[in-house]
Structure 1
Amino acid sequence: MRVFVKSMRGSNLDPCKNQKARKLLKEKKAKIISYKPFTIQMLVPTGETTHESHVGIDLGAKYTGVAITQEDRVLAKGNIECRQDVKGLLETKKIYRRSRRSRKTRYRKCKFKHKTTRVYSNKKGKWVKKKTSFTSPRPKSWLPPSLESRTQNLFFWIDTFTSLLPKVKLHIEVGKFDVQKMKNPDIQGKGYQEGDTFGYHDVRYFVLARDSYTCQVCKKKGKILNTHHIIYRSHGGSDAPSNLISVCTDCHTSDNHKRGRILWHWMEKRKKVPTYKEPPFMNALRIRTFRRYPDASIIYGSETTPRRKALHLEKTHYNDAIAISGIQHIKENPHRIFYIKQFRKKKRSLHEATARKGRKNKNLTQKRNKKNTKEMKGIHLNDTVRIFGKIGFVSGFTTTGLYIKDIHNAYITKPGKTYKQVGFKDVTVKNHNNNWQFISHLAPDGA
């Protein structure tokens, strides 16, 4: 990955090679102004001739490819991984908030505003104001927090890269999905208004009729039937008809729901139920991309594939981004890619609903768990460290040591040992981070 350069007066220059940046820093002709991505600023006058830069963005629900090109050279390429844990954390927060109803706590103002209307009171003989319903403060362009987090993080990195390049042109691939067409390729006309359960009283009657009023476990008819979730809701399953089957009351017992029993085996043997939660997000992201970057060149996936094949590149997110950038032929393509991932640095709940492993009693005194400590012995959470010849990030602390993970969320352990904890003396801190992890490594495909 090239090093971004700014002139003495702050204007963007063409990125330079690592060797040149190292030489400029050693001779005190430049200073470091950012580490992620690595950027230097000149301390001496220099020429300001620049070339047109192109930034290709391959938007995705989880991974987004980024590529920076100039003429026939690829200057940088890599992937950005968005957080996928926001929804689960909000559900946990919901559980904590609901538990306040059974605890003696301070009064907390209502989350939504009351809507008041004027009604005539026969008792008082006049018009009075009465609270009738709740109104949500959400604006029309509101997105759920999990999707809003992904959207804003992607826009943040797009703005970051474009702000460091001269004469930049932005190229973005967006997706447009028709969920109804994905379920039924032959759908047309009024079929869009008629879902799977059209003509049935509710989803339950549709599932029973689809299964011919037969228990799918014992294959018997004439029994009282219930609808059973193939993938339990506690495991992320939905109430969609494709995730429901008919099971009789003799088979649909609490014991059969346990791990290793009949209904659990059914869930393991069943093929993965297709979900359609990402296409709506990509549609919403496309609309917001149009509004945020009106001058960007927008293309679709059908155009990206032939471009990538013409450049003889393997199918990856960053290679798609190279093709999106509009480069015609590649003369220079780095072997290293960057990888960016967000880290949840703060844990706002000081006490848990259930006791953690190793803790005998609930944390009723609001004492922070050692693993959630922000700093210990000069080392902070999410610091980039070198240990046993590898680069990792601090994920937690213990009384005598700490935990280190690589950017792919795998623990780095001591050679020949199985436990995860490592000692402070084995760790060398490279630099402090905020809530982003940024690393450069060799591309898996060698391209």
Structure 2
Amino acid sequence: MRIFVMNMRGDPLMPCTQKKARILLKEGKAVIYKYDPFTIQLTYATGETKQDCHIGIDTGSKHIGMAITSENKVLFKGEIELRQDVKSNIDTKHIYRRSRRNRKTRYRQPRFLNRKRSDKWLPPSLQNRVDHTFHWIDTFCSLVSDPILHIEVGKFDTAKMINPEINGVDYQHGQTYGFFEERYFVFARDNYTCQCCGKSKDKILQTHHIIYRSNGGTDRVDNLITVCTDCHTSKNHQKGGILYKWQEQHKKVKQYKEPPFMNAIRKRIFARYPNAHTTYGSETTPHRKELGLEKTHYNDAITISGITNIKEDPKEWLLIKQFRKKKRSLHEATARKGRKEPNCFQKRNSKNTPFYRGFYLNDKVKVFGHGQIGYITGFTSGGAYVKNVDGEYITIPNKSYKQVSIKYLKLLSHNNNWQYVVKSAV
């Protein structure tokens, strides 16, 4: 994987090899400009001969593939993993706020429709992903000189994905057309029969979410089934219950969260990058197979960049993950483990402390005696919690607790809200 280079004025030049970058740094002809992605800046005047650089972007709702190519050589490739917890965090904040307002607070008149929304408004969960997609496109465009941008977009017809035979006025009707409520459509679809016990006579029927809403399930009729009151109990919702097992067996219930996001970002890409070359997945797949590349996000990005023949393809690629660094919840619905009294004085839990003894949340550290590299996710009195990139705790050998003492940690870099891991392609 090539190293990005800046000239003395801070303008981008052609990326160089890792060997050349080490030599320049050792001889004092360059200094480190940025650690992630690793970039150096020259300390002497040099020629500025440049070749055409193509940047391929594989947009997505969960992962973004990025690649930089030039003269049939892959200079850089990587993936960005976007956050998927924005909606759940907002829901949690909503619950805390409502309970706080109803707990010995002054009366206040309810406010409705007091938020101004423009035509470009998006829900926070979508807006977060749109903003960070544009952020990384702009970031990589600033690392190479006069790049040619290639972006894959998607256009989806959600109604046709649900019913391939839909046509004409059926788009206005929907699945539940002609039924008083969605529940009656679900009853009729399931022939007024409980889907757990198979009984229908003399039973009071209810609708049940196959994937619980607390686990990300939606209110779509595809996620609803008919159950009777004998089966629809709190016991059956718990682990080992019939409904819980049903959820485990139907984890692949079709969800339609990604198509609306891809439709929304497509219009915004056209408006923000009018000179970019756009393509679609139907064109990317056959071209990728011609190049002999496996199905990955960064390989799709290589294909999207318009490369026709690969002469050089590095084995290393960069994984970038977003980290939720700031935890602002001071009022908690229930006291956390270890806290004997409710949080009545707005004291932040020690795990939410942003820094401790020179270390900050999400710092990249090395654990002495263990040899593993991880990221700080929280602090305790005298120690910290360290997780690897896969979210697993790194602990001291022969110890059962998760905390790692500060004296066993060596700081590698501050990362702010992003985690960077160099991986090898299989």
Range class of TM-score, shorter chain: over 0.9
Give the corresponding residue for 1:159. 138
Contact 2:317 2:424 in 1 (8 A): yes
TM-score when scaled to structure 1? 0.90
Deviates more, 1:321-330 or 1:242-251: 242-251
The answer to whether structure 1 residue 147 and structure 2 residue 129 are counterparts is: no
Shift of 1:48: 0.8
Give the corresponding residue for 1:63. 63
The answer to whether structure 1 residue 355 and structure 2 residue 335 are counterparts is: yes
Contact 1:51 1:167 in 2 (8 A): no
The answer to whether structure 1 residue 37 and structure 2 residue 16 are counterparts is: no
- Alignment equivalent of 1:410, drawn from 385, 392, 406: 392
Which residues in structure 2 correspond to 1:1-400 (within 5 Å)?
1-105=1-105, 134-223=113-202, 224-270=204-250, 272-387=252-367, 388-400=370-382
CA gap 1:152/1:211 in 2 versus in 1, 3 angstroms: same
CA distance in 2, matches of 1:415, 1:172: 47
Shift of 1:426: 2.1
The answer to whether structure 1 residue 419 and structure 2 residue 401 are counterparts is: yes
CA gap 1:305/1:269 in 2 versus in 1, 3 angstroms: closer
What letter matches 2:311 in structure 1?
A: K
CA distance in 1, matches of 2:191, 2:180: 16
Q: Deviations over 1:190-210 (max 9, x none)?
A: 222221111111111111111
CA gap 1:106/1:434 in 2 versus in 1, 3 angstroms: farther
Shift of 1:237: 2.0
Structure 1: 5+ residue stretches without partners: 113-133
TM-score when scaled to structure 2? 0.94
CA distance in 2, matches of 1:276, 1:62: 13
More strand by share: 1
Contact 1:8 1:43 in 2 (8 A): yes
Identical-pair percentage: 60
Contact 1:311 1:330 in 2 (8 A): yes
Contact 1:226 1:248 in 2 (8 A): yes
Shift of 1:404: 1.1
Contact 2:3 2:16 in 1 (8 A): yes
Structure 2: 5+ residue stretches without partners: none
Q: How many residues align?
A: 423
Contact 2:79 2:319 in 1 (8 A): yes
Contact 2:96 2:331 in 1 (8 A): no
CA distance in 2, matches of 1:251, 1:374: 47
Structure 1 runs of 4+ aligned residues shifted over 4 Å read 105-112
CA distance in 1, matches of 2:232, 2:10: 69
Q: SS at the partner of 1:52?
A: coil
Q: Deviations over 1:203-237 (max 9, x none)?
A: 11111111222222332223222222222222222
Contact 1:351 1:368 in 2 (8 A): no
Tell me how large the CA RMSD over aligned residues is: 1.9
Q: Deviations over 1:339-384 (max 9, x none)?
A: 1111111111223111112222222222211111111121111111
Q: SS at the partner of 2:412?
A: strand
What letter matches 1:191 in structure 2?
A: D
CA distance in 1, matches of 2:242, 2:144: 60
Q: SS at the partner of 1:15?
A: coil
Contact 2:238 2:244 in 1 (8 A): yes
CA gap 1:182/1:418 in 2 versus in 1, 3 angstroms: farther
Deviates more, 1:287-296 or 1:96-105: 96-105
Shift of 1:107: 8.1
What letter matches 2:62 in structure 1?
A: K
Q: Which has more radius of gyration?
A: 1
Shift of 1:432: 1.2
Give the corresponding residue for 1:436. 418
CA distance in 2, matches of 1:107, 1:46: 69
CA distance in 2, matches of 1:102, 1:155: 40
What letter matches 1:310 in structure 2?
A: E
CA distance in 2, matches of 1:313, 1:373: 45
